[in-house]
Structures are given as structure tokens and as C-alpha cells.
Amino acid sequence: MLAVFLSLSLPAISLASRDEEPETTMQQMQLLQHQLALERAEERRLKEAQPLHWIHFPKTGSSFVNTITHLPGTCPSLANHALNEDTVGGGACWLSRWLEQCQGVCNVDKYSCPQPCHVHYPVSNYSAQRGHLVGMFRDPDQRILSGYHDDANNFAAYTEDNFNQDFGGKCKGEVLEKVPKKPLLEFAETWKGGMTYQLVMEHPITLTVNPSRPKVTLRDALEAARRVREGFAFVGLTEQWDLSICLFHKMFGGPCHAFEFENTRPSYAGKSADQDYDTAQLQGWHDDIDEVVYAAASEVFRRNLILFNVSKETCEEFCSH
């Protein structure tokens, strides 16, 4: 803290000696005190939230791992090294490859690497994780369309048989590359309520991307929405990626890195996460279960934008430091 204070107060002192007006010095000091108070609040908020438990719903943005792991002191050996398909390798399975190293690289007091290291691991013990959960949420129909059109993972080719097959450590998406997709509406039914599933099914024996996973109900969605409101230290929206990353840093501190704002793996060339899929493909089908969860997430997100003074304008200034 002393070091922070010194580095902040030095410019003020040099400014004061150049400029003799006492009012300017006073204003500078007040600004510095304000900045220090903000930094203390960020530090305290982050301490309370740690260890962070990231719940990663499929197709909400794997690159969020960068924001978590590059918080100061979290995974120190990563330094300014971005995690993505190019730096980790493993094609569409890069995140799962990286998570295998997670425990050896990251401080368990700061980030709780999912164990077993499944990328889309659900909430595993809500009463213990409450207040530590972080995650990005996405419009449910868009999430499902993105999953369907993700040719690298080819989730839409998953069947009960090939899902449980052992591909000897090979990435499933690679093995299933040429396997035809099932019809969209059939796929949509298997992904329906997927965010709800990860939020309420503790210790499930079937993972969320398993096409035979149990269905969830509206009652489950209401509980999931309650957990979003009460159990999450951070809620972001995939559609509002840049504002979400900025909000995260305004809440918890740490520098904004340029690579946090990059979509590491668009579903197909030219597609970026802030472009919507045409929902007409769903012919009126709609995920009315996860809709409840997404509404809760949007509400929390918008409230925090106001609370932390996050906007396109404030973020350009905040993240350019």
C-alpha cells in the first residue's frame, strides 16, 4: 500500500512544485485520496470474492479465463502471456488442455481451478461457493445457435454413443469433424436450460454438453436465478463483452489487457460474439427456462454498470491506463 501511495503521490508533488497555486495541489491531493479509497475498495471486494469459482457455460466466451488468471497474484507465471488456441494448442480443446495445468500454475486461494478439470463444470457446492462465483451469461437462444454452428466442437454431432466413447485424449470436436449435425430443433432441446443445469445440478453424473443429460424445470430456473442474484461476485454478459471486462476491473482492480477484449475463438471465420444469429432458424422455438436465468443476469449486470459508473466512455478512459 505504501508503494502504491508513493507512486501516486510523486506526480502530485512534482506538479505542485511546477504550479504554485495551492488550490491545484489541494485538488490533486483530493483526487489521489479518492483514487486510493477506490483501490482499497477494489482490493477488499476482490479478497472477499476469492477464491473465484468460474462457472463457464458453453458458448459464453472461453477467453474470460484470461481475465481471471491475469488478476495480480492469481497465476503469476503467466505474466502478460495470453491464453488462447495459439498459445496453448489443442485446437477447440485448448481451454480444457490449459485447465489440466491450472492447479500447478494458479494460486488456489485466488482462483479455484475446476476439479475434475472439466471446462463446463457446474456449481459443485453452492453453500460453500456462494459469493465466490463469477461468470458470463448469454441470451439463451443465441447461446444455443452459437453451439449449433460451432463447427470446431461440432456439439450438434454428439450422440449418447460418441459422447461416452474414449478418443484417447484426442479433442472430441476434431474426431467428430465430419459427422453430420442433428437437426437444429433436436439439438436445441438437448441444450435447453443448460445454464440452469450448471447452476443447480450439484455433483451431476452427466455433464451439461452430454446430449442425454437430465432436463431441468422452470422451478430449477427460479433457483438458478436466485443463485445468480445472491451467489455471484461478478456477472457479465457475452453480448456486452467489453463493458463486462471493464466492469470486472472496476470492481476488482487489476490492469485491463488488450487480449482480454479479443474473442479468441469465434464459431466460424468472420463471426464475432457481438453479432447476433438469426433466431428465425428456430422457427418460434425458444428456451423459456434459461430465459429466467438470463433475465436475472441482465438485471444484476445493468445494476452494476450504474453502481460502478461503467459506460463506453468511462471504460475507454479507465482501460487506457
CA–CA separation, 148 and 141 (whole Å) = 11
Query: Which three cell numbers, joined as nine digits, stand for 75?
Result: 497465476
Smallest distance, Å, CB 135 to ligand NAG? 19
Count of residues interacting with ligand NAG (CB under 6 A): 6
Smallest distance, Å, CB 69 to ligand NAG? 24
Query: Which three cell numbers, joined as nine digits, stand for 134?
Result: 463469477
Buried residues in 8-32 as b, exposed as e (16+ CB within 10 A): eeeebeeebeeeeeeeebeebeeee
Smallest distance, Å, CB 313 to ligand NAG? 7
- What is the DSSP track for 158-177? --HHHHHS--TT--HHHHTT
Nearer to ligand NAG, 130 or 286 (CB): 130
Question: Candidates 68-76, 125-133, 247-255, 262-270 — which segment interacts with ligand NAG by CB under 6 A?
Answer: 125-133
Smallest distance, Å, CB 314 to ligand NAG? 4
Smallest distance, Å, CB 125 to ligand NAG? 4
CA–CA separation, 251 and 36 (whole Å) = 14
Smallest distance, Å, CB 127 to ligand NAG? 5
Check: CB of residue 160 under 8 Å from CB of residue 167. Answer: no
236 pairs with which residues across the strands? Answer: 136
Please state the three-class secondary structure of 2-27 as a single string.
Answer: HHHHHHHHHHHHHHHHHCCCHHHHHH
CA–CA separation, 119 and 98 (whole Å) = 10
Question: Candidates 123-131, 217-225, 260-268, 271-279 — which segment interacts with ligand NAG by CB under 6 A?
Answer: 123-131
Question: Candidates 42-50, 120-128, 150-158, 261-269 — which segment interacts with ligand NAG by CB under 6 A?
Answer: 120-128
Q: Among 15, 38, 41, 128, which residue sits at the site for ligand NAG (rule: CB under 6 A)?
A: 128
Count CA atoms closer than 13 A to 238's CA, side-chain side: 26
Nearer to ligand NAG, 293 or 310 (CB): 310
CA–CA separation, 10 and 25 (whole Å) = 12
The yes or no reply on residue 317 touching ligand NAG (CB under 6 A) is: yes
Check: CB of residue 192 under 8 Å from CB of residue 286. Answer: no
Smallest distance, Å, CB 308 to ligand NAG? 9
Residues 255-314, interacting with ligand NAG (CB under 6 A): 309, 314
- Amino acid identity, position 212: S
Q: Among 80, 127, 283, 320, which residue sits at the site for ligand NAG (rule: CB under 6 A)?
A: 127
User: Which backbone phi and psi does 276 adopt, to 5 degrees?
Assistant: -85, 145
Give the position of cell 477464491: 51
CA–CA separation, 114 and 6 (whole Å) = 38
Smallest distance, Å, CB 235 to ligand NAG? 20
- For residue 18, the Cα-to-chain-centroid distance in whole angstroms is 45
Nearer to ligand NAG, 73 or 131 (CB): 131
CA–CA separation, 198 and 203 (whole Å) = 10
Smallest distance, Å, CB 149 to ligand NAG? 37
Q: Residue of minimal CB distance from ligand NAG?
A: 128
Q: Among 125, 159, 164, 272, which residue sits at the site for ligand NAG (rule: CB under 6 A)?
A: 125
Nearer to ligand NAG, 160 or 230 (CB): 230
Nearer to ligand NAG, 125 or 212 (CB): 125
Query: Which three cell numbers, joined as nine digits, stand for 82?
Result: 495470453
Question: Candidates 122-130, 135-143, 157-165, 166-174 — which segment interacts with ligand NAG by CB under 6 A?
Answer: 122-130
Instruction: Give contact residues for ligand NAG (rule: CB under 6 A).
Output: 125, 127-128, 309, 314, 317
